[in-house]
Amino acid sequence: MKWRESVTRMPNVAAWWELKILFYPELYFYTLEVYMVLKIFHDICSWLVSFCGSVFMIFAIVSAIIVLIERFLYSVHKKDPASFETWKNEPAGTPSRRIALITGASSGLGRKLALNIDQKEKNIDEIWLVARRRDRLDALASALTHKTHVLPLDLTSPDSIGIIESELEKYNAEVGVLINCAGLGKIGNYQAITIEETDRMMELNDRSAVDVTVTALPFMKQGDRIIEICSTAAFQPLQHFNVYAASKSFLYNYSRALRMELLPRKIAVTAACPYWMQDTEFIPVARDTKTDPTHKNPIRHFPFSSSSDDVARRIMRASRRGYAVSTPGIFCTIHRFFAKLMPREVLMFFWEGLRRV
């Protein structure tokens, strides 16, 4: 056997060879075979590690180049608006007002985003606020320095989209910033969440967000921006938060592809993916489900939650810079990074541990 000869030429193995001759010849052969198997396994692992490392480096470099090309294309188009393809349905004439349209503005993150826009966004004439609770929207409107337009609408109702469209037409508005923040989550497994709750999640998080976006696009121009509020849940499947995570994954992928579609129009789409925020109404609403005694508190704690103020500030900064994805905080950034590297099985296994802590 060739490999045995080559191994016995190594000095330490030669010493073992002597021992074997003297005392335990059979044991020596077993040891040698185990050693060879381990060595082959080690060689395969080393090869795999260096191969995967090289592939990772190549993709990281390619991604960085693509990001640079994308940013270059945005800046080129900025200098030469006339060379731009315009949207075929774009309304004629100069818009009378440039607005920020925010859904889910009556509480939590949406409210904080409206306040941020009110303080920091330039060239916005009016802020349009959408949600169901009129009193909350009115209270926010009176706290803003900009002119406001309150639209108390249930976005799960298809009529609401038509109302938004007719309001945009009526006021000949240009949507300078569109933020789809209205969202709903329900914690629990397939037994704990009713079909109505499941449908409402998909209707609000996906269908209404897409419909509002498509409705607003004819009223947007070069340099305008869209922010879709997704979640860090978009990065992986989450058992016991399944439909919500899947709905946010849909919105995340929709936002990423829409950004490419809108590159010629130079409208930047940012998919914002925050981690838990405990200072909003989201978690109490998410926990309020039909209780199944066998599945009490499927997600027990929400450690290291972020503040909605900080999240809103980071999201708006990322949008102003034209980023494709905003992970507003350290935990969602780490999650995004590992979700790219790790297999789904490993991520779901970690989540299984985390949700029980």
Q: What's the one-letter identity of residue 216?
A: A
Give the nearest residue (CB) to ligand NAP.
183
CB of 333 to ligand NAP, least distance (A): 14
Q: Are 161 and 148 in contact (CB under 8 A)?
A: no
- Member of 141, 150, 168, 184 binding ligand NAP (CB under 6 A): 184
Closest CB to ligand NAP among residues 103, 176: 103
Those residues whose C-beta lies under 8 Å from the C-beta of residue 112, and which sit 6 or more positions away, are 308, 309, 311, 312
Residues counted in the chain = 357
Q: What is the DSSP string of 20-48?
A: HHHS-HHHHHHHHHHHHHHHHHHHHHHHH
220, 277, 299, 347: which one binds ligand NAP (CB under 6 A): 277
Nearest alpha carbon to residue 220 among 173, 169, 163: 173
Question: Considering only residues 176, 183, 328, 329, which one is a binding residue for ligand NAP as defined by CB under 6 A?
Answer: 183
R_g (Cα) of the chain, nearest Å: 28
Whether the Cβ atoms of residue 311 and residue 277 lie closer than 8 Å to each other: yes
Q: Which pairing describes strands 173-180 and 225-229: parallel, antiparallel, or unpaired?
A: parallel
Does 182 sit near ligand NAP (CB under 6 A)?
yes
Taking phi over 0 as left and psi of -120 to 50 as alpha, with beta for the rest, 302 belongs to beta
* Binding of ligand NAP by 110 (CB under 6 A): yes
> Phi then psi for 155, rounded to 5 degrees?
-75, -10
* DSSP 8-class letter at 267: -
Site for ligand NAP in 237-266 (CB under 6 A): none
* Residue 185 makes contact with ligand NAP by CB under 6 A: yes
Q: How far is the CB of 239 from ligand NAP (least distance, A)?
A: 17
Residue of 281, 337, 341, 349 that binds ligand NAP (CB under 6 A): 281
Q: Min. distance of Cβ 285 from ligand NAP in angstroms?
A: 5
Interacting residue with ligand NAP among 235, 282, 323, 351 (CB under 6 A) = 282
Site string for ligand NAP, 206-235 (x = CB under 6 A): -----------------------x-x----
156 binds ligand NAP (CB under 6 A): yes
Residues ≥6 apart with Cβ < 8 Å to 144: 114, 115, 118, 127
Applying CB under 6 A, the site for ligand NAP has a residue count of: 30
What are the φ/ψ torsions at residue 185 (nearest 5 degrees)? -130, 150
* Least Cβ distance, residue 276 to ligand NAP (angstroms): 4
Q: How far is the CB of 152 from ligand NAP (least distance, A)?
A: 8
Cβ nearer to ligand NAP, comparing 153 with 175 = 153
Is there binding between residue 132 and ligand NAP (CB under 6 A)? yes
Q: Beta 147-152 vs 173-180: how paired, if at all?
A: unpaired
Interface with ligand NAP includes 104 (CB under 6 A)?
yes
DSSP states along 33-94: HHHHHHHHHHHHHHHHHHHHHHHHHHHHHHHHHHHHHHHHHHHHHHH-GGGSPPPTTPPSS-
Q: Which is nearer to ligand NAP, 115 or 181 (CB)?
A: 181
According to the binding rule CB under 6 A, does residue 204 interact with ligand NAP? yes
Q: Which range, of 25-33, 57-65, 89-97, 175-183, touches ligand NAP by CB under 6 A?
A: 175-183
Among 7, 202, 263, 285, binds ligand NAP (CB under 6 A): 285
Identified binder of ligand NAP from the candidate list 98, 100, 106, 211, rule CB under 6 A: 106
Sole residue written with tokens 């989201």: 282
What is the contact surface with ligand NAP in residues (CB under 6 A)? 104-110, 131-133, 136, 154-156, 181-185, 204, 229, 231, 274, 276-277, 280-283, 285
